[in-house]
Amino acid sequence: MKNEITSVDDVTRLLATQKYIASKEVSTIVYLALKMKRPVLVEGPAGVGKTELAKSIAHALDKELIQLQCYEGIDESKAIYEWEYAKQLLYTQIMKEKISDVLGTTLDLKESIKKLGDLESAFFSDHFLLPRPLLKAISSEEQSVLLIDEVDKPDPEFEAYLLEVLNSYEITIPEIGTHTAKHIPIVFLTSNNNRDLSDALKRRCLHLYIDYPSQQLEVDIVQSRMAKMDRQLINKLVNAVHEIRKLDIKKKPAISETIDWAESLVTLNLDQIGPTEMKQTLGIISKYKTDMDQIMQNVDKILGEVS
């Protein structure tokens, strides 16, 4: 099979087809997660490719990507399921007008109550259920990739919901019953380390820490996205980015911003990086005025390392 994974190298190769250049460590953990059917907790600074890893695996394996974007205050109804109350209300209004047809010629009170009770239970059925990402992944007819993004943003209590699902791959809906996964999803959780995650959640997952890439790996990443760009210019650009990351700035350039910077140089037909080019395109890799000021104050040192 074209996308069959039988080795760590297969993972590296598949990710490369999505222009995701993975280190040996990344490919190894992903391979083990696939074979052991375990979730992967991917931690690291913003912009190093944590979310992109899950997306690349989904695309490479031709599987549906189901994404749960976490945020402060997210609850069970947004992560697992909720009822379509507006739809239920609409049907209720329709049934009020048809109540005599429902009861028919029933005269017995108990029989009438039973008929109305059956009608009530119909309002809490799959027809009125609005599945959210966790239930979607569990209920999927085919294996999917479940991305639980920025799991460190919600309150710690939210982890209890996740842990219950990840332990059994089952979701119980009191009014309906238990949904059990037909196919265990490939699960990625990402964290920017805004807070410590629980030991229980960490034990359930294989752990992967992705830091900013080495200079050589980042050159390869940019080259994969900018195949026609001069390799020497890419080396200079990546060198400059690595020097900028050494500065005490508010936001260090992400890998995606390195790629954007490379694309901007090509778009502007620039074949070198000097102080003028740096100032002209600085908004591509720096988003805070204080950071820009500090970069320009150190531009000679940054470009001195490049030359």
Tens-place pLDDT, residues 116-136: 555 555 555 566 678 899 999
Residue 213 has pLDDT above 90, yes or no: yes
Q: Which of 157, 247, 218 is nearest to 23 (CA)?
A: 218
Question: CA–CA separation, 180 vs 68, rounded Å?
Answer: 19
Tell me which long-range contacts 20-24 makes (C-beta under 8 A, separation of at least 24): 20/49, 20/52, 20/53, 20/56, 21/217, 21/220, 21/221, 21/224, 22/53, 23/213, 23/217
Dihedral in degrees, nearest 10, Cα atoms 188, 192, 193, 196: -40
Residue 106, pLDDT score: 54
Residue 1, pLDDT score: 46
- The full 3-state SS of 157-207, as one line of letters, equals CHHHHHHHHHHHCEEEECCCEEEECCCCCEEEEEECCCCCCCHHHHHHCEE
Going by their DSSP bridges, the two strands 65-69 and 40-43 should be labelled as: unpaired
**Residue scoring higher pLDDT (111 or 72):** 72
Residue 124, pLDDT score: 57
Range name among 14-23, 145-154, 175-184 with the lowest pLDDT average: 175-184
Residue 147 has pLDDT above 60, yes or no: yes
Mean pLDDT of all residues in 157-162: 88
Q: Which of 50, 58, 52, 16 is nearest to 212 (CA)?
A: 50
Assessment of whether the complete model's pTM goes beyond 0.85: no
Task: Tell me what percent of the chain is helix, strand and coil, each rounded to the nearest 5.
Answer: 55, 10, 35
**Contact criterion met (CB below 8 Å) for 302 and 295:** yes
Question: CA–CA separation, 300 vs 25, rounded Å?
Answer: 35
What percent of the chain shows pLDDT beyond 70?
82
Tokens 């805004």 -> residue: 194
Residue 78, pLDDT score: 86
Tens-place pLDDT, residues 44-92: 998 899 999 999 999 999 999 999 999 999 988 888 867 665 555 665 6
Going by their DSSP bridges, the two strands 129-131 and 81-83 should be labelled as: antiparallel
Mean pLDDT of all residues in 268-275: 92
3-state secondary structure of 217: helix
